[in-house]
C-alpha cells in the first residue's frame, strides 16, 4: 500500500522501449493511431493491425513521417483463423513482437432486444475472444525470453456497468478478467520480465460513443476525455509498468462503490448522476445513422 501511495505522488521511472517491436490492433482508429504515434516517438518499430486498410495505411504514413519502421496488416479480429495466420506472417516477415497493445474495439450500439445476434456476437469476438488468440500467438516467444508487455485497452465499463450496453459491458468485463488472470499467471510463474497494463478510460471524444452523456450539471465536472490526453496518460502507465490505470482517476469511485455499497445505493447514485440513461442518446444517434444506411460490419 505504501509503495502504491508513493508511486502516486513520486514521478515513476519510465522504461526505454527504443528498438522494441510493438503491435497495435485497431491502429486505424482514433486511439490506435495516437498510440502508434506515441510508441513511434519512443523509438519502437511498429506492426499495425486493422480491418480498415485505408485508415491503417494513413496511420502508417503519419508514423513513417517520424522516420520509424512500420508494417501494416489488414486483419479481421473477429476471426480466430485470420488472427493466427496474420500472426504467422508477422513472425516470418517482421520478427518477434515484444509489446502488444490490444486496442481494437467495437460496440453494437442497439438495445439488446432490437440488436441482430451477429452484432452482439461480434462485440464479444473482437473485444474479448481476440485477446485469447492474440495472447496465444505472441506470448510463447515473450515467455522464452522472459521479456514483453501486454496492454489491454478495456474501459471504465469493464469495471462498472450501465444500461443498454450489455454486449460491450460483457466483453469489457471479460477483458478485465482476462487481463487479471493472465497477470496472476505470469507472476505465479515468476515471469517478472513480462509486464501487463490494463487501460480503463471513461467516455473518450473519438466518436465511438457519440451522444453518450450524463446529467447536464455534471458534464463540466466529468467531461468526455480528449483522445490525446487519454493516450498520453495510458503511455505513462505503460512505460511506468503500472498494472492498471483508470482515466480519469475519478472513475475509481464508481468502481469501488459498485463493490462496497448496497445495490440500491448504486441505483440511486446512477439516477442522480444520469448514469442510468446515459446511453439512450448514443443509441438514438446510431439508429439515425443506420436508418440512413450508414451501418458497416468489418
Ligand atoms: N471512445 C471511447 O469512448 C472509449 C473507447 N474505449 C476503447 O478504446 C479502444 C479504441 O477505441 P476508439 O479509438 O474510440 O475506437 P475507433 O472506432 O476509433 O477505433 C477502433 C478501430 O478498431 C477497428 N476494428 C473494429 N473491428 C475490427 C475487427 N474486427 N478487426 C480489426 N480491427 C477492427 C476499427 O475499424 P473500423 O473503424 O473500420 O470499424 C477502428 O479502426 C476500443 O477498445 C474501445 O472499446 C474505451 C473507453 C472509452
Ligand atoms: C454509470 C455511472 C456514470 C457514468 C458513466 C459513463 C457515462 C461511462 C461511459 C463510459 C464509456 C462510454 C466507456 C467506453 O468504453 C457516472 C456518472 C460516472 C457515475 C455514476 C455511474
Answer whether residue 234 is part of any domain.
yes
pLDDT score recorded for residue 3: 85
Answer whether residue 298 is part of any domain.
no
Closest CA to 201 of 168, 245, 238, 247: 247
Answer whether residue 199 is part of any domain.
yes
For ligand 1, atom 2, name the residue with the nearest CA. 204
Q: Which CATH number does the domain housing residue 92 bear?
A: 3.40.50.720
Answer whether residue 297 is part of any domain.
no
Domain count, the chain: 1
Distance of CA 238 to the CA centre of its chain: 13
Determine whether the shortest distance from the Cβ of 203 to ligand 2 is under 6 A: yes
ipTM of the complex: 0.98
Residue with cell 528498438: 19
Question: Which of 23, 36, 51 for a ligand 1 pocket mutation test, highest count of atoms within 8 Å of Cβ?
Answer: 51
pLDDT score recorded for residue 12: 86
pLDDT reading at 221 higher than 80: yes
pLDDT, tens digit, for every residue of 162-213? 999 999 999 999 999 999 999 999 999 999 999 999 999 999 999 999 999 9
Q: What domain range includes position 122?
A: 11-291
What is the 29 CA–ligand 1 centroid distance (Å)?
A: 6
Determine whether the shortest distance from the Cβ of 164 to ligand 2 is under 6 A: no
Answer whether residue 6 is part of any domain.
no
Distances (CA, A) of 81 to 48, 84, 87, 147, 230: 18, 5, 10, 26, 32
DSSP state of 277: S
pLDDT, tens digit, for every residue of 42-97? 999 999 999 999 999 999 999 999 999 999 999 999 999 999 999 999 999 999 99
| Residue ranges lining ligand 1, Cβ < 6 Å | 26, 28-32, 50-52, 55, 75-78, 103-106, 126, 153, 155, 201, 203-204, 206, 208-209, 298
| Comparison of pLDDT for 292 and 191, the residue scoring more | 191
The mean pLDDT value of the chain amounts to 96
pLDDT reading at 234 higher than 90: yes
Query: pTM of the prediction?
Result: 0.97
Answer whether residue 1 is part of any domain.
no
The phi-psi region of residue 75 (left if phi > 0; otherwise alpha if psi is between -120 and 50; otherwise beta) is beta
pLDDT score recorded for residue 295: 57
Q: Which ligand places an atom closest to the C-alpha of 154?
A: 1
pLDDT score recorded for residue 294: 59
Answer whether residue 4 is part of any domain.
no
Amino acid at each position: 500500500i505504501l509503495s502504491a501511495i508513493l508511486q502516486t505522488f513520486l514521478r515513476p521511472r519510465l522504461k526505454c522501449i527504443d528498438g522494441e517491436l510493438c503491435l497495435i490492433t485497431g491502429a486505424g482508429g482514433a486511439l490506435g493511431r495516437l498510440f502508434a504515434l506515441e510508441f513511434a516517438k519512443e523509438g519502437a518499430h511498429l506492426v499495425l493491425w486493422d480491418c480498415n486498410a485505408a485508415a491503417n495505411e494513413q496511420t502508417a504514413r503519419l508514423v513513417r513521417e517520424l522516420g520509424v519502421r512500420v508494417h501494416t496488416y489488414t486483419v479481421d479480429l473477429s476471426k480466430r483463423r485470420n488472427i493466427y495466420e496474420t500472426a504467422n506472417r508477422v513472425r516470418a516477415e517482421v520478427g518477434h513482437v515484444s509489446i502488444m497493445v490490444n486496442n481494437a474495439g467495437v460496440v453494437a450500439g442497439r438495445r439488446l432486444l432490437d440488436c441482430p445476434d451477429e452484432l452482439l456476437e461480434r462485440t464479444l469476438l473482437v473485444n474479448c475472444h481476440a485477446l485469447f488468440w492474440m495472447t496465444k500467438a505472441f506470448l510463447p516467444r515473450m515467455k522464452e525470453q522472459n521479456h514483453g508487455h501486454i496492454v489491454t485497452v478495456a474501459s471504465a465499463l469493464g469495471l462498472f456497468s450501465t444500461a443498454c450496453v450489455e454486449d460491450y459491458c460483457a466483453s469489457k468485463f471479460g477483458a478485465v478478467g482476462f487481463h487479471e488472470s493472465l497477470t496472476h499467471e505470469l507472476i505465479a510463474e515468476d515471469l517478472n520480465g513480462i509486464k501487463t497494463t490494463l487501460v480503463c478510460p471513461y467516455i473518450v471524444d473519438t466518436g465511438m460513443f457519440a451522444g453518450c452523456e450524463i446529467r447536464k450539471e455534471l458534464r463540466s465536472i466529468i467531461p468526455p476525455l480528449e483522445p490525446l490526453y487519454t493516450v498520453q496518460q495510458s503511455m505513462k502507465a505503460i512505460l511506468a509498468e503500472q498494472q492498471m490505470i483508470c482515466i480519469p482517476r475519478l472513475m475509481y469511485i464508481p468502481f469501488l462503490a459498485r463493490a462496497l455499497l448496497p445495490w440500491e445505493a448504486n441505483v440511486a447514485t446512477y439516477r442522480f448522476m444520469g448514469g442510468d440513461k446515459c446511453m439512450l442518446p448514443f443509441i438514438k444517434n446510431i439508429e439515425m445513422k443506420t436508418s440512413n444506411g450508414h451501418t458497416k460490419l468489418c
